[in-house]
Structure 1
Amino acid sequence: MTRLIASLAEVSGQYDAVFCDLWGCLHNGKVAFPAAVAALHAARAQGVTVVLLTNAPRPKSSVAAQLDRLGVPRNAWDEIVTSGDAAQFALVTGAVGRRIHHIGAPKDEPFFTDFAADIAAVAAGQPPVQRVTLDEAEGIVCTGLRDDLTETPADYRATLMMAKQLGLPMLCANPDIVVDFGDRRLWCAGALARDYEGMGGRALYFGKPHPPIYDLARRRLSARTKAEAPAILCIGDGVGTDVQGGLAEGLDVMFVTGGIESAAFGPDAQRPDPARLETWLAERALSPVWAIPHLA
């Protein structure tokens, strides 16, 4: 049975590391959450290695810069692993070919140019990737909508239909369907990949809840901890990403109820209804070890 707790400090001493989600847990795209920052800083002070594990389609350097802008101090985390990092590895090793068509926003350009050292080392031994028009492509890289403030997945139906007719595989750099940006809910790359599969197309995923991002996170964690088999806690508000992904990896999970699913647990996000929470999790056959209203 999932235990509802008030703070990470109640249980952090049981773990060597945490894999912590960003959007909805540490920030909302516009502001950082001070209590969450303090909780991660305190965990690190106890010797817990904090890995920020995000489905952002950009490389970790871009995410680090975003956190700097939001006021998240670098002493609140040890490492960052992104869906973009894991998808970059797939890109440079030819998972969807060498001639690719990009669907995404200008803010996602670092995906093609900025590689962490471990991925750059792999890319150095591979043929170059070319970006081409859809009719010349061997595959698609989808990092998101071109303008997620104004567009919806419906705007891409014709493009996806053409890609399906051409038989192109899609590399989805962010499996999230939606994300909360301040008080707005925006569509992500996962929504386009979902629609593409609904048309009969083939999509490849590398972020949560899929294994590649956890494999990369464990490799990067191993360089930062002396524990041979570290006890890891996954923290996140996405039931289909953070919760399902962590459980599938055999890891303990802390579900943040006050994030994207908060409306399911009553009118007060700070005080989720335990009965509603238990029923909601049971209906989905999910059993995170812990639940918390907000990361604190």
Structure 2
Amino acid sequence: MLISGLSALASRYDALLCDVWGVLHNGREAYPGVADALGNFRAKGGHVLLLSNAPRPSTALPEMFRRLGIPSDVYDGILTSGDATRTYLASRALGEACYYIGPDRDLNLFDGTGVTCVDEADAEFILATGPFDDEVEGPEDYREQFGKFAARKLPFVCANPDIVVERGTKHIYCAGALAALYEELGGEVVYFGKPHRPIYEVARGRLAEIAGAPVADARILAIGDGPMTDIMGANDAGIDALFITGGIAAADCGPAPEKPEGPRVAAVLARAGVAAVGAMPRLVW
């Protein structure tokens, strides 16, 4: 199962659906070799769509990638859960008055949707992109408030189904962790992003636009570090998956991020009930 690089599998695929956080970067800098891996895949005629659970519009990401050391010529496009969430907000399916939970940097998610951020008492629904302060807060900080929201039967929109991500050497909570608590308290959650099927339908359409024709599922490889998001989503969509072990599951895969052990990697995937065509510590060619 363990492979030395993407080149071991590249000839079998025409397109990549590549996760971002935990695969390309850690929130502070790009991992060594990722730009070359994507660039080499494109050089052989392949197409690369970055598929992120980032809860913000994809237009906000290229400049951030450039700063982290990921040039724009190593990928063909970006699709985020934020893109899908904005489309849903604009439909006004849950109303126009939203209680927003998340940092100010994600407020552009509401631009042009006609949805207004309001106080708790006036909310028709809740939307979370993550905790207000993800450096210090976690789900338990919201338990009392969420209990009140659930009692009011307010729908909860989760714009990032990830539970945790790496930021440098630290793990921080994402909106998925808040959504899991809300469901535990009996609330209704609407998810956008991996592993949920709608984002893969949109991704197939984007790949067809990029390639000039539909790309068969058998010729698409999903790459990700999240067993319960990237790998599960690919499995459910009928797409092969490559597991990057050095991301959020690194501690369970081996003694160090660069040293995964085959049996431990297999156990991580088995616990999640998912399968991958290969695994490697970092995305390299």
Say yes or no: TM over 0.5: yes
Which residue of the other structure, out of 9, 12, 22, is the alignment partner of 2:10?
12
Residue by residue over 1:103-128, the C-alpha shift from the partner in whole angstroms, topping out at 9 and shown as x without a partner, is 111111121127xxxxxxxx6xxxx2
- Corresponding residue for residue 90 of structure 1: 88
Q: What secondary structure does 1:53 align onto?
A: strand
Q: What secondary structure does 1:56 align onto?
A: coil
- Corresponding residue for residue 118 of structure 1: none
Q: State the AA in 2 paired with 1:269.
A: P
Report if the CA contact (8 A) 1:62-1:110 is conserved: no
Q: What secondary structure does 2:33 align onto?
A: helix
Which residue of the other structure, out of 246, 256, 260, is the alignment partner of 1:258?
246
Total equivalences in the alignment: 282
Which segment is superposed worse, 14-23 or 263-272? 263-272
Query: Post-superposition shift, 1:96?
Result: 2.3
Which residue of the other structure, out of 91, 104, 119, is the alignment partner of 1:133?
119
Report the Cα distance in structure 2 between the residues aligned to 1:131 and 1:280, rounded to whole angstroms: 40
Q: What secondary structure does 1:5 align onto?
A: coil
Report if the CA contact (8 A) 1:253-1:288 is conserved: yes
Residue by residue over 1:159-193, the C-alpha shift from the partner in whole angstroms, topping out at 9 and shown as x without a partner, is 21221122100110000111110011111111111
Q: What secondary structure does 1:80 align onto?
A: strand
1:235 aligns with 2:233: no
Residue by residue over 1:210-245, the C-alpha shift from the partner in whole angstroms, topping out at 9 and shown as x without a partner, is 012112211211111134333210000000000000
Q: State the AA in 2 paired with 1:86.
A: A
Matches within 5 A, 1:133-282: 133-230=119-216, 231-282=219-270
Query: Post-superposition shift, 1:194?
Result: 0.6
For normalisation by structure 1, the TM-score amounts to 0.91
> Segments of 4+ in structure 1 off by > 4 A?
none
Query: Post-superposition shift, 1:33?
Result: 1.3
Unaligned runs of 5+ in 1: 115-122
Q: State the AA in 1 paired with 2:70.
A: V
Q: State the AA in 2 paired with 1:5.
A: I
Query: Post-superposition shift, 1:131?
Result: 2.0
Q: State the AA in 1 paired with 2:172.
A: L
Q: State the AA in 2 paired with 1:289.
A: V
Report if the CA contact (8 A) 1:96-1:140 is conserved: no
Q: State the AA in 2 paired with 1:107.
A: R
Report if the CA contact (8 A) 2:165-2:174 is conserved: yes
Unaligned runs of 5+ in 2: none
- Corresponding residue for residue 76 of structure 2: 78
For normalisation by structure 2, the TM-score amounts to 0.95
Residue by residue over 1:123-159, the C-alpha shift from the partner in whole angstroms, topping out at 9 and shown as x without a partner, is 6xxxx22222121111111111111112222222232
Report the Cα distance in structure 1 between the residues aligned to 2:238 and 2:153, rounded to whole angstroms: 35
Q: State the AA in 2 paired with 1:152.
A: G
Report if the CA contact (8 A) 1:96-1:171 is conserved: no
Report the Cα distance in structure 1 between the residues aligned to 2:271 and 2:70, rounded to whole angstroms: 36
Report the Cα distance in structure 1 between the residues aligned to 2:44 and 2:24, rounded to whole angstroms: 19
Report the Cα distance in structure 2 between the residues aligned to 1:194 and 1:103, rounded to whole angstroms: 15
Q: State the AA in 2 paired with 1:225.
A: A
Report the Cα distance in structure 2 between the residues aligned to 1:67 and 1:283, rounded to whole angstroms: 32
Q: What secondary structure does 1:223 align onto?
A: helix
Report if the CA contact (8 A) 2:100-2:117 is conserved: yes
Sequence identity percentage: 44
